[in-house]
């Protein structure tokens, strides 16, 4: 990302990366807030983002990153053990849409 992102942009990006499109409520919960009002105020710029919030979101992102790296390692071990590694395109016909998963 060229240039320096604003704190509001980082808040939006961090929240959506952690929790997807509807990130306000789960991020508020992660930060120990009782509702999303403060998040909306930070995003709109009507209130400044407190210094500790960016550090807290950084820690949440780091935890998610660590979890994803651990999961990736598990998948790598499973693929190497079963010999099922390879190009995902080869397996397209055998995949079911998520809504059909049990």
Q: Which tens digit of pLDDT belongs to each residue from 35-63? A: 999 999 999 999 999 989 999 999 999 99
Q: Which residue in 45, 20, 44, 15 sits closest to 31, CA to CA?
A: 15
Determine the average pLDDT of the residues in 51-78.
95
In a domain, 102, yes or no: no
In a domain, 18, yes or no: yes
As a 3-state breakdown, the chain gives helix, strand, coil percent values, each rounded to 5, of 70, 0, 30
In a domain, 65, yes or no: yes
Q: Report the residue count for the chain.
A: 102
In a domain, 1, yes or no: no
In a domain, 69, yes or no: yes
CA quadruple 97, 62, 29, 12: dihedral positive or negative?
negative
Q: Which domain holds residue 55?
A: 7-79
In a domain, 62, yes or no: yes
pLDDT reading at 102 higher than 80: no
pLDDT grade for 11, boundaries at 50, 70 and 90: very high
Determine the average pLDDT of the residues in 7-23.
96
- pTM metric for this prediction: 0.73
In a domain, 88, yes or no: no
In a domain, 93, yes or no: no
Model pLDDT, residue 101:
47
Model pLDDT, residue 94:
56
**Total count of domains within the chain:** 1
């Amino acid at each position: 990302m060229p240039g320096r992102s604003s704190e509001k942009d980082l808040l939006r990006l961090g929240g959506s990366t952690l929790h997807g499109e509807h990130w306000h409520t789960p991020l508020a919960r992660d930060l120990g807030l009782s509702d999303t009002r403060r998040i909306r105020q930070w995003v709109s710029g009507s209130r400044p983002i407190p210094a500790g919030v960016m550090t807290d979101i950084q820690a949440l992102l780091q935890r998610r990153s660590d979890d994803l790296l651990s999961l990736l390692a598990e998948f790598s071990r499973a693929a190497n053990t079963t010999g099922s590694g390879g190009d995902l395109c080869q397996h397209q016909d055998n995949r079911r849409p998520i809504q059909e998963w049990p």
